[in-house]
Amino acid sequence: MSLDGRKKQLLQFLLRVDRPIPSGKLAKGIGCSERTVRNELAQLKEWVRVETGLNITGKPGVGVTLEGSPIERKRLAERLQEKGREADDDRGDSDGRRRTLLGVLLEADQPLTTEELSRKLHVSRTTVHADLDWVDSWLRAGGLSLARRPNWGIKVEGTERERRFAISKLREEALPADEKLLADLLPDLSVIREEVRRIESTMPYPFTDEGFTNLVYHLAIALHRIRQGQKIRMPAEELQELAAHPEHQIATQLAGALERRFSLRLPEAEIGYIAMHLLGSRIRQWGSDSEREIRHTLGKTDPEARRIALFLISRMEKALQLPLKRDDRLLTGLSLHLHSALNRVRHGLRVDNPLLQETRHSYPYMYETLLDLLPELARKEGIRFGAEEAGYLVLHFQAAAERLSRSPGRKSALIVCSSGEGTARLLEAKLERFFPELRVTGTVAAREVALAVRRHRPDILLTTVPLEHSPVPSLQVTPLFHREEREQLHRLLQGTLPGEEKESQQMFPVLKRLLHPKACLQIRHRVHRQELLHLLTKRLEAIGAVSKDYLESVLQRERLASTTIGNGVAIPHGSSDIVRKSGVAAAALREPVDWDGESVRLVFLLALDQTERERNRSLFREMVRLADDPETLDAIINETEPGHWHHYL
């Protein structure tokens, strides 16, 4: 097998880090789809194993890892270096080169010419010009822009706050652009970690591992930029609002400690910046805290989080027809999550959700039900959550739904989770449902495992992150706890595998029943997304499923978040409040249409009667299963008679 540019980029990406990388981040990093990444990795696995002895492993919801010894990793790096010397520099690791260019521009406070950039990156000016469009697009997604003027140069423009967020994002992606930056930050990291740990012990709730790490790096970047003479500016009103929070007092203490340790002065705006990150950092509960203690503390410190949690629970209870108000853990976990999420929204802190695609894929009905509530939340409370935050909220509600169907009686298990409260709660609910013999004694961060094992004495550890040493039997799983992971736990416990649901013997019975033959289209010419939705809405109107107002509802839903479900399939839909009867219209496209960055060739426009909840849940499960069935998808797309699509369902 020959290593083309994309395969080389994937291997170089995996070599640079020693932790799992989500396939979405790999796809974004090398500029292709997740499906392409999966195909490339499948081809690389055997070559890597035979040629180097390394193994490429992947876990859904966690990411892809290159496993092996340092000697084997070095051997692969040398092989790639040899391959690199055979190619022209300008056609080498384009992804790494672009991000190195991005890092140089983010660090520069004065305009740089293409000639200067060409010398710094050791590539031609033509290559620099070609890469600048990618850099500009990356920056705009983060609220920055790239100014390019003749006889002046190229410079990143935007606020210092947005620039720091961008530098932090580069750090998270663990690419070559970070190497110089990390070298500048490394001497400060151990001291900052020490001070953050000390201040964490004074807070009502500890950080998640992810929240702790992100805070440490944001502080390191802040110190780095302050030494360069670049300081945060904040409006007086925002500083005044931040000063009213208890976290501002903690930020002041932390700033004083950093000033003493690093012999520099932090202006008031920088203290506000620290307070902002303290407020937005993801937190979790102490294992010993009761639900009542947490709600009491939050009721005093953040009544708004509890009020919005109650609002969402009330609306979701009505939509799902589940007794969610009786679930104390849902109210507690959701309030705790919203405490951070609301502050992130208020202060413009961006959040990446590595589980978003997996959440949409695994729980489409829960995800869509929650998204339907967000416009009302925006109107009544002025709170606008994006898809990333919505994905985290879904985990809380899915965990509650799982708890409602669990069986009593459990043994002893301890959960190790590095992300948020919702992720841990979902895994806990899954365990209680599928393994009622397991009693969950608590949830801890990876850095607390040794102490927690001594305190709780669990029989087994269930961890979402790799553990170097485990004092008791352990199993690494994803928060979504897929069937194969349940089977592994079953083998570990040497018991029966409870709670499995039997799959329907029919492939897509609900879709087959709702998809009207007269509402199926095969479109051979290029069509725009909005035009396509108009055509499909007309078909639903013709069969009496909706009125003409449905199109506007569909377009509003499209503005909230993408309705693609992978492998070139999209399932747009509007509000169920204005549906006359359930129905589905579909279109197969000879020319793919761009759908929020994904090429889509098969579109199902859904109109669902809200009173038929169980059928709607089944339909969403079928749609996800269809998206994972390439043979059926190809058969539908290639069938020249749309009226015959039923034969493949």
Tell whether the model's pLDDT for residue 181 goes beyond 60: no
Provide the mean pLDDT of the chain: 81
Domain 178-280 has CATH 1.10.1790.10: yes
Comparing 448-457, 504-513, 550-559, the range with the smallest average pLDDT is 504-513
Strands annotated E in 405-468: 411-416, 438-444, 460-463
Q: Which fold has domain 5-85?
A: Arc Repressor Mutant, subunit A (1.10.10)
C-alpha to C-alpha distance for 62 and 20, rounded to whole angstroms: 6
C-alpha to C-alpha distance for 563 and 551, rounded to whole angstroms: 15
The amino acid sitting at 536 is: L
Res 292: pLDDT: 59
The amino acid sitting at 344 is: R
Residue 550 banded pLDDT, cuts 50, 70, 90? very high
pLDDT in tens, 224-242: 889 888 888 888 888 888 8
Strand partners, 566: 569
pLDDT in tens, 504-518: 445 788 999 999 888
pLDDT in tens, 470-501: 777 888 888 778 877 887 887 777 643 333 33
Res 605: pLDDT: 94
What are the C-alpha distances in Å from 213 to residues 146, 190, 277, 419, 487?
Answer: 29, 12, 12, 11, 32
What is the 3-class SS of 63-76, one letter each residue? EEEEECCHHHHHHH
Res 294: pLDDT: 55
C-alpha to C-alpha distance for 213 and 198, rounded to whole angstroms: 14
Res 421: pLDDT: 63
- Integer distance in angstroms from the first to the last C-alpha of the chain? 37
Provide the 3-class DSSP secondary structure of residue 516.
Answer: strand
Residue ranges of alpha helices (H) inside 201-327 are 209-227, 236-243, 246-262, 268-280, 291-301, 303-320
Res 187: pLDDT: 75
Average confidence (pLDDT) over 73-96? 62
Residue 297 banded pLDDT, cuts 50, 70, 90? low
Query: Given 3.40.930.10, 3.90.79.10, 1.10.569.10, 3.40.50.11890, which CATH number is that of 509-648?
Result: 3.40.930.10
Please identify every residue annotated as catalytic: 573
C-alpha to C-alpha distance for 577 and 550, rounded to whole angstroms: 10
Quote the percentage of the chain above a pLDDT of 70.
87
Comparing 76-80, 519-523, 591-595, 614-618, the range with the smallest average pLDDT is 76-80
Burial class, 238, CB count within 10 angstroms (exposed 0-12 / middle 13-18 / buried 19+): middle
pLDDT in tens, 366-380: 998 999 889 899 988
Residue 171 banded pLDDT, cuts 50, 70, 90? confident
Q: Please tell me which of 411-420, 425-434, 457-466 the model is most confident about, judged by mean pLDDT.
A: 457-466
CATH class of 291-404: mainly alpha
Average confidence (pLDDT) over 564-576? 88
Sheet containing strand 474-476, edge to edge, reads 438-444, 411-416, 460-463, 474-476
CB 372 within 8 A of CB 394: no
pLDDT in tens, 599-641: 899 999 999 988 888 888 889 888 888 888 888 888 888 888 8
From the list 492, 531, 536, the residue with the least C-alpha distance to 518 is 536
94-98+108-156 and 291-404, same CATH topology: no
From the list 410, 437, 413, the residue with the least C-alpha distance to 427 is 413
pTM: 0.62
**DSSP assignment string, 315-361:** HHHHHHT--GGG-HHHHHHHHHHHHHHHHHHHTT-----TTHHHHHH
C-alpha to C-alpha distance for 610 and 623, rounded to whole angstroms: 18
pLDDT in tens, 91-142: 455 777 888 888 889 988 899 998 899 888 888 888 888 889 889 888 987 8
Res 406: pLDDT: 56
Average confidence (pLDDT) over 525-554? 91
C-alpha to C-alpha distance for 1 and 563, rounded to whole angstroms: 36
Res 82: pLDDT: 60
Average confidence (pLDDT) over 520-543? 91
Residue 409 banded pLDDT, cuts 50, 70, 90? very low
Res 299: pLDDT: 58
CB 225 within 8 A of CB 160: yes
Tell whether the model's pLDDT for residue 324 goes beyond 50: yes
Q: Which CATH architecture has domain 94-98+108-156?
A: Orthogonal Bundle (1.10)
C-alpha to C-alpha distance for 78 and 57, rounded to whole angstroms: 21
Q: Phi/psi at 67 (nearest 5 deg)?
A: -100, 135
Tell whether the model's pLDDT for residue 150 goes beyond 60: yes
Tell whether the model's pLDDT for residue 535 goes beyond 90: yes
Tell whether the model's pLDDT for residue 190 goes beyond 80: yes
Which H or E element spans position 536?
helix 529-542
Query: Given 3.40.50.300, 3.40.50.2300, 3.50.50.60, 1.10.287.1080, which CATH number is that of 411-493?
Result: 3.40.50.2300
Parallel/antiparallel/unpaired status of strands 564-566 and 569-570: antiparallel
Res 176: pLDDT: 39
Higher pLDDT, 172 or 194: 194
Instruction: Give me 191's structure tokens.
Output: 């001291």
Q: Give the residue extent of every domain in the chain.
A: 5-85, 94-98+108-156, 178-280, 291-404, 411-493, 509-648
Res 370: pLDDT: 92
